[in-house]
Amino acid sequence: MYKVISAGLSAVIVLLSGPAIAAKSGEQVYKEVCQVCHAAGVANAPKFGDSAKWAPLIKEGQVTLTVDGWLGVRAMPPKGGNSSLSLQEFAGAVAFMARSGGAKWQDPDAKMLADMQALEKKKLAARAKK
């Protein structure tokens, strides 16, 4: 009986921990998705490590800049062109790149992610009205 319960519990634990393990770090996402454009500055993308380019963007604030990139802005494709990314993963990659340009940004916590989702909703609603 104990064995059955314990086997069942392990299965549940594996299932629950799955998504957490699958979430990619900002650096990983940068290397897999963003680097293609942001390493060399393709189409005038702010280059990794170019603090002069990143300074004005960092001033916009982490929530605003992340949501603008997430929704796409000018030549920057929404989600960096990879629709399988979660907002959390995308935000981690933005923080990673911003740090390369001098920001002290950390990966967003739950509260900041909620702020990002709220701003995303607001911007989508504003776009729908246009």
Q: Token digits for 30?
A: 């940068």
**Site for ligand HEC contains 73 (CB under 6 A):** yes
Contact string (CB under 6 A) for ligand HEC, positions 89-108, x = contact: -x--xx--------------
Residue 18 or 60: the one with the smaller Cβ distance to ligand HEC is 60
Nearest of 112, 77, 108, 57 to residue 48 by alpha carbon: 57
**Chain centroid offset of residue 123 CA:** 17
**Site for ligand HEC contains 68 (CB under 6 A):** yes
Which residue in 62, 63, 69, 116 binds ligand HEC (CB under 6 A)? 69
Q: Which residue stretch of 72-80, 99-107, 109-117, 119-127 sits at the interface with ligand HEC (rule: CB under 6 A)? A: 72-80
CB-CB contact of 83 with 115 (8 Å):
no
Angstrom CA distances, 86 to 6, 44, 104, 113, 115, stand at 32, 25, 22, 11, 15
Dist CA 37 CA 8 (whole Å): 46
**Site for ligand HEC contains 65 (CB under 6 A):** yes
Q: Which of residues 21-60 bind ligand HEC (CB under 6 A)?
A: 29, 33-34, 36-38, 42-46, 57
Q: How many of the chain's residues bind ligand HEC (CB under 6 A)?
A: 25
Nearest of 49, 86, 46, 54 to residue 70 by alpha carbon: 86
* Residues lying near ligand HEC in the complex (CB under 6 A): 29, 33-34, 36-38, 42-46, 57, 65, 68-69, 73-77, 80-81, 90, 93-94
